[in-house]
Amino acid sequence: MTALLGACELGLLMAVMSLGVFLSFRILNVPDLTIDGSFTTGCAVSAVCSGMQMHAFGLGMAVLCGALAGLITGILQTKGKIQPILAGILTMTGLYSINLRIMGSKPNLFLENTLFLQIKELFPSSYSELILILVFLLVVIGILVLFFTTQLGLALRATGDNEAMVKASSINSDAMIILGLSLANAIVAFSGALFVQYQGFSDINSGTGMMVIGLASVIVGEVFLTSRRLPVRFLSVVCGALLYRFILTFALQLGLEANDMKLLSAVLVIAAISFPHMLRRRYHA
Amino acid sequence: MLRMENAHVVFHPQTDNERVALHDVDLHLKKDDFLCIVGGNGAGKTTLMNVISGTIKAQHGTLFLEDEDITNMAEHRRCAMIGRIFQDPLKGTAPHLTVLENLSLAYGRGRRSYFQKAVHKQDIAYFKERLAALGLGLEDRLDNEVGLLSGGQRQALTLIMATLIPPKLLLLDEHTAALDPKTAERIMQETERIISAYHIPAMMITHNLSQALRYGNRLLVMKDGSIIKDMGQQEKERLTIAELMHDYEIFS
Ligand SMILES: Nc1ncnc2c1ncn2[C@@H]1O[C@H](COP(=O)(O)OP(=O)(O)OP(=O)(O)O)[C@@H](O)[C@H]1O
Ligand SMILES: [Mg+2]
């Protein structure tokens, strides 16, 4: 039961992060590897702020710093004419040093007090963490849904779909890419901050593999729930993140070690992408 | 109206692949011009339009649109004034957005307020009216994803999108080439109707010589990056397809 609860909590945390991956990967159509770095940035900023007892402020700062990371990748891509994947890798690499600086050159920080501990004091229940994460997740989804009903949101979607058409409609597509990457990384850093508040410590390697987890969530979600409507697609990402976490938890219970999780993650993504294709080929052959 | 002077475009300069696509081209367009451009493959027709729309920057040369110097203006800012249909039918529309969303995006050209609603209900009647004039039944498919339409239908939709807000200049790059003959005829008539109804100066590239003779008040022939012939209304009316083919070796 506690394992299931923990899986739900972690799954929903990763759902927040995966929404950021969804934005860059699916909406903007850009594989953005900044994410591994900006997640850790969110962790680091949040941990440092919490050290000064400014938990909520830390969440806000994490969002800002994440947006800044995305901004840099976006500028590298559009103005610096660096290929999207490389631009992300460069930012991510640079962020490693910056993240270490933020954490005062310590590879990990442990927190005595966090937002989650405070909430638990206020509402003592074993579900208080889950509910808090759910609230944050719903806020993020709500903002995204609202955002995508505006002309700006539509322009962003169109940019990922057909850049030539977007320019011909007098929209600055470079600005859209920069904005989209900023938004995506802001969300990712926010989830990093929540992650730190939840588990009570920050590690310089927390972000490693986040891109793959995000991809897994997006793709596993799409295997089960696809739609043209964006709110449903957001929901699909959440389902994917939960499902992914359940599978990992199940594997752990079966006796796999924590160190095997990265391999399992990679295999899952491969399976989720390739399996549907292979099945289709068999039926159509 | 449009004044292009000395536009010179070289692709891959100073390499083995160097290619002069436009050779110091001068072009003046008057307020009511509907200009047809013909010329063989690789003559530089599309490049000429790319320079006007800002997709390609010329090595040198100047460009004025209604007395405004747009030589160094960014593409997306120029396109607030210039409507365009690409040679590639897939380029003008966003496939994963619906017909309505594509139209709504185009309807913001040059006057967008980003924080307004993406789609305004009160615009739909106007969109439907414009689509209905095409006679392709697209007005009943507003909620379809554009990727589900045929190439020809997408090209027709692009025509409406490009003129939803009448631009100061309309660029048509072989916009009926992907259509079946009947639809092509229909779209051409609709194009002419829109151009004269909204008084839009237009440039049209075509490989269809009878189309080039029938439509417009001026005809350019391009070859190897230069305009080798510029004919006015009267000259154009006397011309026959055979002469056009023969004289300028368009398809040599
Ligand atoms: N992006 C590019 N890079 C390199 N060379 C190019 C590029 N675009 C065009 N060219 C070259 O410039 C020349 C003119 O091309 P352009 O597309 O303007 O021809 P066109 O007259 O439109 O021909 P078509 O009738 O086939 O569309 C061609 O020789 C072409 O190879
Ligand atoms: Mg061409």
pLDDT at A265 over 90: no
Q: Does residue A273 form part of some domain?
A: no
Percent over 70 (pLDDT), chain B:
98
Angle between helices B151-163 and B124-132 (to 10 degrees): 120
Q: Does residue A256 form part of some domain?
A: no
Contact A155 B105 (CB under 8 A): yes
Residue nearest to atom 30 of ligand 1 (CA): B42
Q: Count other Cβ atoms within 10 Å, centred on residue A135.
A: 11
Any B CB within 8 A of A2 CB: no
- pLDDT tier at A3, thresholds 50, 70, 90: confident
Q: Are strands B202-205 and B34-38 parallel, antiparallel or unpaired?
A: parallel
Contact B109 A157 (CB under 8 A): no
d(CA B48, ligand 1 centre) in Å: 10
Buried b (16+ CB within 10 A) or exposed e, B25-34: bebebeeebb
Adjacent-strand bridge partners of B9: B22
* pLDDT tens figures, B128-144: 999 999 999 999 999 99
pLDDT at B29 over 60: yes
Residue nearest to atom 26 of ligand 1 (CA): B41
Q: State the pLDDT at residue B252.
A: 47
- Average pLDDT, stretch A139-165? 97
- Average pLDDT, stretch B41-45? 93
- List pocket residues of ligand 1, CB cut-off 6 Å: B 11, 19, 21, 39, 41-47, 87
Sheet holding B60-65, edge to edge: B19-29, B2-11, B60-65, B68-69
Q: Nearest C-alpha of chain B: how many angstroms from A146?
A: 10
pLDDT at A57 over 70: yes
To test the pocket of ligand 1, the residue of B10, B23, B36, B41 to mutate (highest count of ligand atoms within 8 Å of its CB) is B41
State both tokens at A76: 């590298």
Q: State the pLDDT at residue B95.
A: 97
- pLDDT tier at A231, thresholds 50, 70, 90: very high
Q: Does residue A280 form part of some domain?
A: no
Residue nearest to atom 12 of ligand 1 (CA): B21
Please state the atom number of ligand 1 nearest to the C-alpha of residue B40: 25
Q: Does residue A255 form part of some domain?
A: no
Buried b (16+ CB within 10 A) or exposed e, B79-104: bbbbbbbbbebbbbbbebbbbbbbbb
Q: State the pLDDT at residue A259.
A: 85
Q: Does residue A240 form part of some domain?
A: no
pLDDT at B72 over 50: yes
Residue nearest to atom 3 of ligand 1 (CA): B11
Q: Nearest C-alpha of chain A: how many angstroms from B1?
A: 20
Q: Please tell me the number of the ligand nearest to residue B222's CA.
A: 1
Please state the atom number of ligand 1 nearest to the C-alpha of residue B44: 18
Q: What are phi and psi of B84, to 5 degrees?
A: -145, 140
Any A CB within 8 A of B127 CB: no
Reported residue count of chain A is 285
- Average pLDDT, stretch A22-48? 97
- Average pLDDT, stretch B51-72? 95
Judge whether A216 and A272 are in contact, CB under 8 Å. Answer: yes
What is the CA A131 to chain-centroid distance, rounded? Answer: 19
Q: State the pLDDT at residue A284.
A: 55
Q: Where are the domains of chain B?
A: 97-150+158-165
Name which of A148, A161, A170 is nearest B79 (Cβ-Cβ).
A170
The whole-model pTM stands at: 0.93
d(CA B42, ligand 2 centre) in Å: 7
Any B CB within 8 A of A148 CB: yes
> Can you give chain A as a three-state secondary structure string?
CHHHHHHHHHHHHHHHHHHHHHHHHHHCCCCCCHHHHHHHHHHHHHHHHHHCCCHHHHHHHHHHHHHHHHHHHHHHHHCCCCCHHHHHHHHHHHHHHHHHHHCCCCCEEECCCCHHHHHHHHCCCCCHHHHHHHHHHHHHHHHHHHHCCEHHHHHHHHHHHCHHHHHHCCCCHHHHHHHHHHHHHHHHHHHHHHHHHHHCEEECCCCCCHHHHHHHHHHHHHHHCCCCCHHHHHHHHHHHHHHHHHHHHHHHHCCCCHHHHHHHHHHHHHHHHHHHHHHHHHHHC
How far is CA A260 from each of CA A11, A204, A275, rounded to the nearest angstrom?
18, 20, 22
Adjacent-strand bridge partners of B223: B226
Q: Count of domains in chain A?
A: 1
Any A CB within 8 A of B161 CB: yes
- Average pLDDT, stretch B200-204? 97
Percent over 90 (pLDDT), chain A:
81
User: Mean pLDDT score of chain A, rounded to an integer?
Assistant: 94
What is the chain B residue with the closest CA to A158? B94
Contact B118 A171 (CB under 8 A): no
Contact B118 A161 (CB under 8 A): no
Any B CB within 8 A of A146 CB: no
Residue nearest to atom 17 of ligand 1 (CA): B46
User: Mean pLDDT score of chain B, rounded to an integer?
Assistant: 93
Q: Please tell me the number of the ligand nearest to residue B223's CA.
A: 1
Q: State the pLDDT at residue A258.
A: 83
Q: State the pLDDT at residue B103.
A: 98
Please state the atom number of ligand 1 nearest to the C-alpha of residue B50: 18
pLDDT at B206 over 60: yes
Higher-confidence residue of A180 and A225: namely A180
- Name the DSSP letter for residue B70: -
Chain B residue numbers touching A165 (CB-CB < 8 A): 91-94, 102
Contact B114 A173 (CB under 8 A): no
- Average pLDDT, stretch A198-215? 94
Name which of B91, B113, B161 is nearest A151 (Cβ-Cβ).
B113
| The residue to which tokens 């995506």 are assigned | A184
What is the chain A residue with the closest CA to B84? A168
Chain A residue numbers touching B79 (CB-CB < 8 A): 167-170
Ion ligand 2 residue ranges (Cβ < 5 Å): B 46, 87
Q: Range of A92's domain?
A: 2-206
- Name the DSSP letter for residue B170: E
H or E element in which residue B32 lies: none
